[in-house]
Structure 1
Amino acid sequence: MLKLRLLSSVLISVGVLSCVNALAANDKGNATGKQAAVAQAGQQQGQQLNKLADEYYEKQTAFDPIGATYNGDTRYDDRLPMTLSAPVRARQIAVLKDVSSRLARIQREQLSASDAVTYDCLDYELKASLEMSKFDGHLLPVNQMDSLPVTLAHFASGQSAQPLKTVKQYEIFLRRLAQLPVWINQATANMREGMKRGIVLPKALVNSALPQFAQLVTDKVEDHAYFASVKNFPEGFSEADKQRLSKEYKQVLTAKVLPALRQFNQFLSQDYLAASRSSSGFGALPGGDAWYRALVRDQTTTTLDPETIHAIGLKEVARIQSEFVALGPKLSYSGDPVGLPAWIDTQNQYRPYKTEAEVLDGYRQIEKMVKAKLPELFNKMPKAALDIRAEPEISRQTASDHYTQPAFDGSRPGVFWAVINNPADYSTTGMKTLYLHEGQPGHHFHLATSQELDIPKFRKFGGNNAYTEGWALYAETLGKEMGLFENDPSAYLGHLTDELLRATRLVVDTGLHSKGWTREQAIQYQQATLGYSEAASRQATERYMAWPGQALGYKIGSLKIVELRQKASAALGKRFDLRQFHDVILSDGTLPLALLEAKVNKWIDSQKTN
């Protein structure tokens, strides 16, 4: 009986367990079914999002063919942007509104983590573009820093983004040049409207731009910058193709392009110069205060106002200058620490170069030192090569050192463009820091790496100024960890002076556009603070006048990345890995600073639990 009772108990228990297991299995099946449904819904929403993101990129690229060329997208190499035209601009704004409306219908909470980042980036970019479309930037289509005719001169050199290696590519570029008169006519009409409404460039900027446009007016077509590519045909072109292309270029330039450039140069030097303003900042324009504040938000991706940024700048200036106290004696300088940058500028031993080639070779020597140290700070290196070139002569007087990203198809490397006006005046003190910023691990690591990421194209090739320049400025600080400044106090002074420059930009940019500073006041402040010559201070000041808010992104972005690194290091202690931190910063491409902060915070939390 006992055995029977035990057996019955077992059978009963088995029966109960079977029922329980069946119910549990049913619940598990329901849960699994729900999870599968949720996953499927998320996948569908993600597919809609990525399809919309691709459509957005395609439509925006068609409005910006010059940007497409820089990205290595050759489909639009025969076109010019026409968004100066009101109907075209209206179509572009309609696209932005349509994409924004369709994005709002996507259920963000159902997206995967990576798709949610794309959603947030697209949402931010659309809102920022629509906000800036409210203002009248189309009335200011040229300045000494940025103009389409000068960009085309760079392209014609064969050293920039426009591919000029085949007969077909020469034909494509000629079709692009042939459209320039239409662009010039629209630019002139917009500038005349700006003259009527009081939205014009400062007189100083017009005077700085005039020499560039004067170079684009030549008596002989053979002497023109746009004809440079014809004088330098690649090997392998047949004589018949050379003669035909030479004839076609001469015809288009002589009949269409050069007359339009002469007319525009005359308009710029006479009518527009006479109507240009004596004031320096955007605050003097109609609606200029609201316009500048919108630019500040756009360029920093924050809600910081000009007053707050001005105060941050003054604080950073004081902090950096305090380091001059200990550094001065190492350079045999015993004067006022604030005067150290001005003093170093008078020391000829830091100007050893005689030729442009020597300067470029100096950068290549720095590159070797940096590349040897990069594996200690980074897990991944960009695949694209980096080249170092001198800025073309036509824009050297007004250009800043800069970087252009590689073509995404690998046909063109990333390029660090060094502005070398007079090699004998070129100082070595800032070269290490400048290479870190424009080359590796600055812009090249960010922008070349972004092209390798599995993210939508608008994220690969778009972005924002605060992250882009903030990362490059942060990259400068890594020179200390690489040991680049050990036993080289002049190079460390160059590093501090460059950081001081970015701090003064917060002061000068907001001073000019929000506090009513004059051009002369800004020049004097930079001379006193940075030790710059009058010419260098003038060039920097006029850059900030031409590009309001752009210079703010460097320091604001860098301060955020430094803040996030310090936070991660404090939270993780010995578990903090700098290479992993850099992976986190770079692995999603360009992000608005708020999204970057949220990403780093999430990483910190994950590291704690692991």
Structure 2
Amino acid sequence: MRLRLSRPLLGTTALLAVLMSPLAPATAAPSATTAAATAPARATKQLHKLADAFYQARARFDPLLITANGDSRYNGQLGLSISQKNRTRQFDLYRRMQTQLKAIPRARLSDKEQLNYDLLAFELESGLSLEKFPEHLLPLNHFDHVPGTLANYASGTGSQPLNTVAQYQDYLSRLNQLPAWIDQAIANMREGVKRGIVQPKAITVAMLPQFQQLRSATPEANIFYTPVKNLPAAFSQADKDRLSAAYRGTIANKLSPALDRLATYVEKEYLPASRNTDGWSALADGAAWYQAQIKDRTTVSMNPEEIHQLGLKEVARIQQQWAVLGPKLGYSGPPAALPQWVAAQDKFKPFKTEAEVLDAYRQIDAKVRGKLAPLFSLLPKAPLELQLEPELSRATASDHYTPAAADGSHPGVFWAVVTDPKQYSRTGMVTLYLHEGQPGHHFHAGLLKELDVPDFRKFNTENPNIGAFTEGWALYAETLGHEFGLYDDPEAYFGHLNDELLRAVRLVVDTGMHVKGWNREQAIAYARETLGYSEARAKNQIERYMVWPAQALSYKIGALKILELRERARKAMGDKFSLPKFHEVVIGDGTLPLPLLEARVDRWIASAK
């Protein structure tokens, strides 16, 4: 899953007024009996009021995050979460909310509400942990930026559908707000240049062509005019004429000048000022910043050296499998070189067109659907679609999933990145589908939408601070290829192991670059040598970790925890252990920080005894 958007930002004057007001109106003193009976209900009401205020503030200040999470109610808003004024308001509001939350007697809540309490406390603490670090001075990178996100939405096939007049109006509203966001981003980057908080030069070089590509000679040639080219036939002629004129005017008079300013600034000012270092430790207070990001992304307390050594250990463990697997694939050379050999074999690249790749994924999808019942007692109602990554972002994108909308306006989508179908290897397709499709991200995100939980939990699959669960579950889902019988095929099993090896390599290179002084070239070389990747593929991966520090750690750390808990439950429960029930325990309560997940599994084990 691509955790594409910025951290949720909170606060409005109205919400501050609500939050600073008493949690319950003053009333006449009740009797002791009445007070005892009503205390749990009052505490629950207070908690729900606070949780709703938290979510509404998040939605107002980071509406794109909400859209990506499948809530379409804020699709006409863009927000300005990168402004210093809004950030200050965010953290002030976090502290007020913490005070309000601590005033609620947790012990009087039911078990279900105590979990809501604990998760809201986690969200607030997680946000405040990064308060002192100037994330807003790095508003753009090649992997994730607001103009590119909106450009990808222009097709109407992503998280923001374009099927009705109202949806067209929402998207146009966001386009009208984009110039202000761009000007704020430029102002932030200028401040970052003064303070030495800038992107590495290689990253700026990678993102510049994207901004240049967003420009056009005429409004009609602009990617943001795409919705007009796809106007539904059912629209009235008056609506078609009005929307066409409005989109054309916005692009010509507002958006194109802003995109020109952005491309010119990045090329003329930001590129020369970009740094020649690659790791986060080169930034002011960078070591502490990276450590805070580790805790935020993984939800556990591990230091970079521990993670680095864990990565090396996992790399060695997985590489031991090559000696057994190599001969089954027709390879007789040194085991460590198996990935390079597989990457060079044309027999693993049978495709000629993008359509053939997509059809192969559909065949995998059909096989998995037929074998879900013995492994899962919980199945999401939301449908899953398979689509190709839009052309604009293929060069820098990774395969990813976008959640279904809670209102059913669009399905969950697995986006496959196919830059050249003739070079697309079938070896990694099964494990990738299990991760991005089902039972990976689609099961977690789909089931979450069906839970009777506060909105801040229901729409919470794209937040970076829960990646250890989100990505950990998806990587764990890859291991279920054994239970599905899909890894009886040596090619598919190689693909799984090599993708697992990628997650282990991430532990090594992420900490290597951001703490141990590795440069970009060292990291790329390690990835190429260990994974057998091409220069371009290794570069794509490493440059992602450069701009998204610690996020790549969440996969392996989360998956290892889930596997550890499964084995703990199996040993403790013996014949009473049920794999479908274990899966229900893990994903049945939505997204959880790893310590809360572990406590949930331990309670299940204890109850079975």
Shift of 1:97: 1.4
SS of equivalent to 2:401: strand
Structure 2 equivalent of residue 361 of structure 1: 359
Shift of 1:34: 9.5
Structure 1 equivalent of residue 598 of structure 2: 597
Residues 108 and 119 of structure 1 are in contact (CA less than 8 Å); yes or no, is this contact kept in structure 2? yes
Whole-Å separation in 1 of the counterparts to 2:170 and 2:358: 32
1:87 paired to 2:88: no
1:398 paired to 2:396: yes
Consecutive unaligned residues in structure 1, runs of 5 or more? 1-32
Structure 1 equivalent of residue 529 of structure 2: 528
Shift of 1:244: 2.2
The farther-off stretch of 564-573 and 229-238 is: 229-238
Which of 462, 470, 473 is matched with 2:475 structurally? 473
What RMSD, in angstroms, separates the aligned Cα atoms of the two structures? 1.4
SS of equivalent to 2:370: helix
SS of equivalent to 1:172: helix
Structure 1 equivalent of residue 152 of structure 2: 154
Shift of 1:246: 1.3
Amino acid at match of 2:476: Y
The farther-off stretch of 566-575 and 101-110 is: 101-110
Residues 387 and 413 of structure 1 are in contact (CA less than 8 Å); yes or no, is this contact kept in structure 2? yes
Structure 2 equivalent of residue 14 of structure 1: none
Which of 405, 427, 430 is matched with 1:429 structurally? 427
Shift of 1:158: 1.1
Structure 2 equivalent of residue 348 of structure 1: 346
Whole-Å separation in 2 of the counterparts to 1:91 and 1:36: 39
Structure 1 equivalent of residue 508 of structure 2: 507
1:53 paired to 2:51: yes
Residues 342 and 532 of structure 1 are in contact (CA less than 8 Å); yes or no, is this contact kept in structure 2? yes
Whole-Å separation in 1 of the counterparts to 2:551 and 2:523: 16
Shift of 1:94: 2.1
Residues 139 and 199 of structure 1 are in contact (CA less than 8 Å); yes or no, is this contact kept in structure 2? yes
Structure 2 equivalent of residue 449 of structure 1: 447
Amino acid at match of 1:293: Q
- The percent identity for this pair of structures is 55
Amino acid at match of 1:587: G
Whole-Å separation in 1 of the counterparts to 2:398 and 2:33: 54
Shift of 1:59: 1.3
C-alpha change, 1:401 and 1:35, in structure 2 (3 Å) is: farther
Whole-Å separation in 1 of the counterparts to 2:61 and 2:426: 42
Shift of 1:73: 3.1
1:135 paired to 2:133: yes
Whole-Å separation in 1 of the counterparts to 2:546 and 2:34: 56
Within 5 Å, give how 1:131-530 maps onto structure 2. Answer: 131-462=129-460, 464-486=466-488, 488-530=489-531
The farther-off stretch of 240-249 and 118-127 is: 240-249
SS of equivalent to 1:379: coil
Residues 60 and 77 of structure 2 are in contact (CA less than 8 Å); yes or no, is this contact kept in structure 1? no
Whole-Å separation in 2 of the counterparts to 1:244 and 1:594: 53
Deviation per residue, 1:337-388 (Å, 9 max, x gap) = 1110110011111111111111111001000111111111000110000000
The farther-off stretch of 75-84 and 318-327 is: 75-84
Deviation per residue, 1:98-154 (Å, 9 max, x gap) = 111100111112221111111111111100101112210000001011000001101
Shift of 1:239: 2.5
Structure 1 equivalent of residue 583 of structure 2: 582
Residues 283 and 513 of structure 1 are in contact (CA less than 8 Å); yes or no, is this contact kept in structure 2? yes
Shift of 1:601: 0.4
Amino acid at match of 1:321: Q
Structure 1 equivalent of residue 541 of structure 2: 540
Structure 2 equivalent of residue 21 of structure 1: none
Deviation per residue, 1:538-573 (Å, 9 max, x gap) = 110000001000000000000000000000000011
Count of matched residue positions in the alignment of Structure 1 and Structure 2: 575
Residues 159 and 403 of structure 2 are in contact (CA less than 8 Å); yes or no, is this contact kept in structure 1? no
Deviation per residue, 1:211-256 (Å, 9 max, x gap) = 1111101112111110011111112122232222212211111111
Whole-Å separation in 2 of the counterparts to 1:453 and 1:272: 45
SS of equivalent to 1:374: coil
Q: Compare CA radii of gyration and give the structure with the larger one.
A: 1
Deviation per residue, 1:51-109 (Å, 9 max, x gap) = 21111111111111112222343332222120222222222222211111100111112
Residues 38 and 110 of structure 1 are in contact (CA less than 8 Å); yes or no, is this contact kept in structure 2? no
TM-score, structure 2 normalization: 0.93
Within 5 Å, give how 1:88-127 maps onto structure 2. Answer: 88-127=86-125
Residues 70 and 403 of structure 2 are in contact (CA less than 8 Å); yes or no, is this contact kept in structure 1? no
